[in-house]
C-alpha cells in the first residue's frame, strides 16, 4: 500500500472556530516523534458540495488510507438541539448513509471520535440517547476490557490512563456484532470495534489539556458548575494521542487498491 496516501477526516461541526480547533488538534496529535505528520484531507458533512463524495464513496476511496469521523458540539442524537439543527442533523444522516455503509461493507480503517463514535453506533443499530447518567466533560479514566488490552488500537497504552470526554449523548449498549474495548468512568461504551478495522471511541484522543480548555470556552454549555473550577480540574492526558498513532499503523496494513470497485 502507498502509505503516502492521506487520511480522510469528515467534520460534523457548524461553528467555523470549532472546525479549525478540531483540524489543528488532529494535525498536532498525529505528529510523530520524528516530526512527520500524515497528510489529512478534511470534508464537511454539511457542505452540499460534498454530496457526490458521500453518495458515491466507491469512486473516491482509492485516494485514502483511512477515515476519521470527528466530533460535534451542536448536533445530537438525543434530540436536545434546536429544531433547525435537528433538521440539518436528519438531512446529514441521509447524506452520509451510503458512505458509512460502504465503510462497514469493506471494513475500511475508520476511527469515530465522540459524535463519530455515536454515528457508527447508530448505523450499527444501537440507540444513542441523551443520558445524564453517562454524560461526561473533563479528564476521566478509561477502563480497558480484556479484548481492549489485546487490540492494536490500544497497543502500548497502560492499564491506568485517562482521556478527555465531552459529550451529552451516549450509546445505551455496545452495538450487536461489535466488541466492547473500553468503558469510561460513566460511559458504558467507551470504545468498541466492529469487524477488524472500524473503531468508535467516546473520548477525544486528539485533545490535550490546552485543547480542552479552548473547547470549553467555545462551548460553555458543556461545562458543569463553575468554569474556573472546571478548568482547574483538567489533567494532562499523555497517553491518549497514542490511539491516533496506533490507528495510523492500522491503516498501513490495509490496501484500498485491493477493494473491488463496484460501478
Residue 262 lies in a domain: no
Note down the domain range covering 67.
7-257
Residue 122 lies in a domain: yes
CA distance 187 to 190: 6
Calculate the alpha carbon distances from 248 to 29, 52, 168 in Å: 12, 26, 28
CA distance 104 to 110: 9
pLDDT at residue 6, as a whole number? 93
Residue 1 lies in a domain: no
Residue 66 lies in a domain: yes
Model confidence at 145, pLDDT cuts 50, 70, 90, reads very high
Arithmetic mean of pLDDT, 28-43? 87
pLDDT at residue 66, as a whole number? 94
For residue 259, is pLDDT > 80?
no
Q: pLDDT tens digits, residue range 234-249?
A: 888 889 999 999 999 9
Residue 12 lies in a domain: yes
pLDDT at residue 227, as a whole number? 78
Model confidence at 10, pLDDT cuts 50, 70, 90, reads very high
For residue 79, is pLDDT > 70?
no
Candidates 114, 136, 167, 212; catalytic one:
114
Give residues with Cβ within 8 angstroms of 6, minimum separation 6: 38, 39, 40, 41, 63, 64, 65
Counting other chains too, the contacts that 27-36 makes at CB distance below 8 Å and 24 or more residues apart are 28/206, 29/205, 29/206, 29/207, 29/208, 29/241, 29/244, 30/244, 30/245, 30/248, 32/245
Which range is most confident: 82-86, 148-152, 159-163?
148-152
Q: pLDDT tens digits, residue range 104-141?
A: 999 999 999 999 999 999 999 999 988 888 888 888 99
For residue 81, is pLDDT > 90?
no
Arithmetic mean of pLDDT, 31-37? 78
- Any catalytic annotation for residue 206? yes
Residue 263 lies in a domain: no
Higher-pLDDT residue of 50 and 147 is 147
pLDDT at residue 1, as a whole number? 43
Is residue 39 a contact partner of residue 23, using CB atoms and an 8 Å limit? no
Candidates 22, 126, 136, 206; catalytic one:
206
Residue 134 lies in a domain: yes
> How many structural domains is the chain composed of?
1
pLDDT at residue 80, as a whole number? 58
Candidates 89, 106, 167, 204; catalytic one:
204
- Any catalytic annotation for residue 114? yes
Residue 85 lies in a domain: yes
Classify residue 184 as exposed, middle or buried by CB count within 10 Å of its CB (0-12, 13-18, 19+). Answer: buried
Which CATH number covers residue 234?
3.40.50.880
pLDDT above 70: percentage of residues in the chain: 92
Amino acid at each position: 500500500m502507498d502509505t503516502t496516501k492521506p487520511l480522510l477526516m469528515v467534520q460534523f461541526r457548524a461553528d467555523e472556530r470549532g472546525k479549525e480547533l478540531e483540524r489543528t488538534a488532529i494535525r498536532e496529535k498525529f505528529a510523530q516523534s520524528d516530526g512527520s505528520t500524515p497528510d489529512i484531507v478534511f470534508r464537511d458533512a454539511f457542505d452540499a458540495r460534498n454530496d457526490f463524495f458521500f453518495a458515491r464513496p466507491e469512486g473516491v476511496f482509492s485516494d485514502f488510507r483511512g477515515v476519521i469521523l470527528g466530533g460535534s458540539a451542536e448536533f445530537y442524537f438525543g434530540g436536545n438541539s434546536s429544531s433547525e439543527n435537528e433538521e440539518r442533523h436528519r438531512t446529514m444522516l441521509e447524506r452520509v448513509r451510503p458512505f458509512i455503509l460502504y465503510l462497514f461493507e469493506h471494513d475500511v480503517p475508520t476511527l469515530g471520535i465522540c459524535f463519530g463514535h455515536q454515528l457508527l453506533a447508530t448505523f450499527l443499530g444501537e440507540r444513542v440517547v441523551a443520558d445524564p447518567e453517562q454524560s461526561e466533560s473533563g479528564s476521566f479514566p478509561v477502563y480497558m476490557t480484556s479484548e481492549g488490552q489485546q487490540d492494536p488500537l490500544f497497543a502500548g497504552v497502560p492499564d491506568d490512563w485517562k482521556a478527555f470526554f465531552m459529550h451529552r449523548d451516549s450509546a445505551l449498549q455496545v452495538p450487536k456484532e461489535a466488541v466492547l474495548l473500553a468503558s469510561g468512568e460513566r460511559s458504558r461504551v467507551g470504545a468498541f470495534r466492529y469487524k477488524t478495522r472500524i473503531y468508535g471511541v467516546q473520548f477525544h484522543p486528539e485533545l490535550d489539556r490546552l485543547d480542552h480548555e479552548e473547547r470549553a470556552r467555545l462551548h460553555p454549555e458543556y461545562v458543569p458548575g463553575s468554569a474556573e473550577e472546571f478548568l482547574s480540574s483538567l489533567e494532562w492526558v499523555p497517553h491518549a494521542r497514542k490511539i491516533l498513532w496506533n490507528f495510523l499503523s492500522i491503516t498501513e496494513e490495509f490496501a484500498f487498491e485491493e477493494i473491488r470497485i463496484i460501478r
